[in-house]
Structure 1
């Protein structure tokens, strides 16, 4: 890795073995790498991580999806169908601080790299198990993807046009949130590990993470709210809190309290609404939501969105254009924050981690690894001699992905 030796940040020196594929696991490991950890991505022979081929579009040798979740890592190819491959992986894990996997619970027991087996031998190890539905329960062995988690958690049931069919949030929402949750839990476990030398088992699932996203809606339902349905982007509690049409494009308006409501009414030229006692608090406004939406929509349609942005901004009312991605990637605030990172050596960009630390003044941004490009390097660091590495390559227990190491 180009900047591995110069890595800084609170997780500098942390060694992570990442045996995950798809998106949630790689995202978790990438955030740890962004924070300074040395992440070794272990991939299968031949194709590697499934997302390497999730395209087009492609960024050099891999898809844009893969590039977006695998920066700052090194790639090692290990054949888990070979006993020597398993033994090699166990050596890497034993010398690591953290092991992350996203196999269906139970599959790794056969290979002897399940939590109980590894922690018995390596009590310092933080073992992070990522799955669709968790490590226990009747559905622990079901495979899981973002779509299934969004559906089962109820997230889809409240998403979509009012009166329409439930819709998936059109991004890998539960994958990304699960990655964030896993990275948070690992970082917390590292604090204890560095103080006591003891590891931990972390159980993170797509379903649990999607339920966390749904926490306010579930709490409201359990408190007596009616069964929710797709509502076209309105909030379940707050009014007015949604998108509105203007003379030229949609604008979202977020009225979060009663004082803000009064300022909003005056700013947009609807002072009569602010004076009505039945609209003075949010329960009243919610009861009259349909009337308010009609009145506000009619008023905002009179002028373009840029006008209302200035007016509402001056009044301290949160609002935003509903931006397309072409606008997002040129948004002055996004650019000023350095939220987009150019992939080194490629005409492509990815999103920076959603955190800024003073100890990392410049974000780590090593290019995603080519498949098996660091196999020899990582094995040598972990005590394998050149002869041993050559022997493992010869019997195809591992693969050397370097250009000079590939067989014709």
Structure 2
């Protein structure tokens, strides 16, 4: 897919975010064709150092969220650097930041003030707790959001300590939310010229992930607790042991329940649990019967039988299996950047082609060309370098 045919071609994004949620958002905008200028402080985004493993000078984590971008180094302690940043924002359609409110005020980047100066801009503020409320100034991390949203309270072994979902869940989904909201705001800005402040928090994102559990609780369901991978609403929806390795079964409808009963040759009383409500009442008896049958044959045999009967089932894949899964390979789920670094592709597919995948930028590698594009002459750029207001690629 050529750059010209990507949906966000012609859109410029200035990205002042660090770590993972904001960079994920702008990476997806870049995958959609936007020109993303990553503004970094001297020393760069903290995520560059989140290793080992390192791929060249930067961590694998950094490469996983920063493809298709340009890097400009500005030291915003210098007034001259803040002037350059203002010129960058003036040239942009979208601005993304995840700074704390006190720092935004100190460097003149409060959302409302920036929108006053650039009324057509889509300003994306990404934080732990949002721009309003009593906790707006608190630092936010994935672990904190998972804990406060209730997500951890339902995750973990039965009767065990609550656990974090072991990936940057809040950050990645918040990045998707920012990309969605920014793209919608861009559509309106094209029609009306009116910009927007997009306020996304990790806590709000995790509340959205907990929506069905919270809705059930508010409707009278007992407060849930860690349940070892089962689902409090659907029965049966959980892992089971087989003769050699565990599998998961997802009985998402009454029809699937009857198919599963036929595959396992369960007794009549199990088949009589024809509704999810009934299955929840007799769940312990059903679990015992299912477990006894699954223990009689290896996982491969059961998966073949379930696939033939259209019963959703799967092994619990380790990453070594995930990256070689024929379905993942067929869909291009793992792709190589132009540098050869392998990363997970964007979670969408266009029929007309696939997005470019250019490697994550070297720190400051694009400072000179980006600033030249703003009309900053060579002698002025040299002065900015000498004062330390801007930086370039390492020697």
| TM-score band w.r.t. shorter chain | over 0.9
Alpha-carbon separation, structure 2, partners of 1:329 and 1:8: 29
SS where residue 17 of structure 1 aligns?
strand
Among candidates 338, 345, 351, match of residue 358 of structure 1: 351
C-alpha contact (below 8 Å) 2:94/2:121 kept by paired residues: yes
Q: Which residue of 1 aligns with 2:387?
A: 395
Provide the TM-score with structure 2 as the length reference: 0.98
- Paired residues for 1:124-139 under 5 Å: 124-139=120-135
Moved more, 200-209 or 251-260: 251-260
Contact map agreement 1:18 1:41 (CA 8 A) in 2: yes
How much does 1:385 deviate? 1.2
Deviates more, 1:243-252 or 1:6-15: 6-15
Q: Which residue of 1 aligns with 2:232?
A: 236
Distance 1:196 1:240 in 2: 50
Distance 1:7 1:293 in 2: 55
Structure 1 partner of 2:142: 146
Tell me the distance in 1 between the aligned counterparts of 2:81 and 2:384.
Answer: 8
Matched, 1:57 2:35: no
Equivalent position of 1:114 in the other structure? 110
Shift of 1:271: 4.3
Contact map agreement 1:265 1:273 (CA 8 A) in 2: no
Which consecutive unaligned segments of at least 5 residues does structure 2 have? none
User: Which residue in the other structure is 1:29 paired with?
Assistant: 26
Shift of 1:399: 0.2
Matching residue within 265, 277, 283 for 1:283: 277
Between the aligned partners of 2:99 and 2:234, the Cα distance in structure 1 is 41
Aligned to 1:296: 290
Unaligned runs of 5+ in 1: none
CA RMSD of aligned residues (A): 1.3
Partner Cα distance (2:48, 2:158) in 1: 37
Match of 1:349 among 342, 348, 354: 342
Q: Contact 1:98–1:126 (CA<8 Å) still a contact in 2?
A: yes
- The DSSP-based 3-state class of the residue aligned with 1:69 is coil
In 2, are the aligned partners of 1:266 and 1:274 still within 8 Å (CA)? no
78, 84, 88: which one aligns with 2:84: 88
Q: Tell me the CA shift for residue 6 of structure 1.
A: 3.5
Note if contact 1:27-1:69 (Cα within 8 Å) is conserved in structure 2. Answer: yes
Question: Structure 2 CA distance, aligned partners of 1:306 and 1:259?
Answer: 23
What is the aligned counterpart of 2:44 among 43, 48, 51?
48
Distance 2:111 2:4 in 1: 29
| Distance in 2 (alpha carbons) for counterparts of 1:63 and 1:27 | 15
1:326 maps to which residue?
Answer: 320
Number of aligned residues: 395
Matches within 5 A, 1:115-194: 115-194=111-190
1:383 paired with 2:383, answer: no
Which SS does the other structure have where 2:9 is aligned?
coil
String of CA shifts for 1:344-368, please: whole Å, max 9, x gaps.
324x311001011234x13210000
Q: TM-score, normalised by structure 1?
A: 0.95
Distance 1:349 1:369 in 2: 15
User: How far off its partner does 1:73 sit?
Assistant: 0.3
5-14 or 312-321: bigger deviation: 5-14
The answer to whether the 8 A contact 2:160-2:226 is kept is yes
Query: Using the alignment, how far apart are the partners of 1:366 and 1:382 within structure 2?
Result: 23
Contact 1:234/1:242, CA 8 A, preserved across alignment: yes
**In 2, distance between residues paired with 1:207 and 1:106?**
20
1:64-114 residue CA offsets vs partner (Å, 9 max, x unmatched): 000000000000000010000111101000110000000112421121122
For the residue of structure 1 that corresponds to 2:205, the secondary structure is helix
Check the 8 A contact 1:329/1:335 in 2, yes or no.
yes
Q: Conserved in 2, the CA contact under 8 Å of 1:7 and 1:364? A: no
